[in-house]
Structure 1
Amino acid sequence: MVTIEPIMIKGHFFTAIVVQLPKTTLLTVSNDTGYIMCGALDIDLLNTRLAERKIIAGRAVGVKTIDELLTAPLESVTFEAEQLGISQGMSGMEALLKMV
């Protein structure tokens, strides 16, 4: 099952997507600038093989819900995210607010 819902964070709209898969759930929250995602996101791939795309993204591990994704500290972020002031250890919500 796939669930897509708009969410508002401090007056800014984002899109939350939950994809239920066998034995795991993919979670992401995004806007037109970038996104945060659960542990399935491969930051190294984005920073190396897809570097020319300049993807702004952060990854939180061990999260099972969108609420956990928003409050968990980011385990890693892309180089492009760092350029916006997004850093490892920042909460998902803090990172998203730097993407507006």
Structure 2
Amino acid sequence: MITVNPLEVEGMFFTAIRVELPKTNLLMISNEIGYIMCGALDVDLFNSNEKLRGRNIIAARAVGVRTIDDLLHAPLEKITDASRSYGWEEGMIGKDALVKIS
């Protein structure tokens, strides 16, 4: 099952997506600028691949999350290099990162 819902974070709106997979969930919260996601996101690929790096993708991942609420409150384990231009840092809480791109 795929669930797509609007999500309000400190007065700003995002899209929350949950894809139920066998034994796990794929979780993402996004807006038109960037997104945070569960551990399924390969941040290293965006940072190491020259073509992808040139796209300046604003993205980060958190690990060990099972719900959208977990994703909002989990520390970001990895971020893309382009995310730094928005003030994102490893270890910041997902919700705080989203506010910076709203």
TM-score (norm 2): 0.96
Which residue in the other structure is 1:57 paired with? Answer: 59
- For 2:84, the equivalent position in structure 1 comes to 82
Runs of 4+ in 1 over 2 A off after TM superposition: none
For structure 2, the 5+ residue unaligned runs are none
Unaligned regions of 5+ residues in structure 1, if any? none
Quote the residue 1:12 is aligned against.
Answer: 12
Pairwise CA distance, 1:20: 0.4
User: Structure 2 counterpart of 1:9, which letter?
Assistant: V
CA deviations 1:48-82 (Å, max 9, x no partner) are 22111110011100000000000000001010111
* % identity of equivalent residues: 57
The aligned counterpart of 2:71 is 69
Q: 2: distance between equivalents of 1:33 and 1:11? A: 16
Instruction: Name 2:22's counterpart in structure 1.
Output: 22
Q: How many residue pairs end up in the alignment?
A: 100
- The CA distance in 2 between the partners of 1:24 and 1:73, in whole Å, is 19
RMSD: 0.6
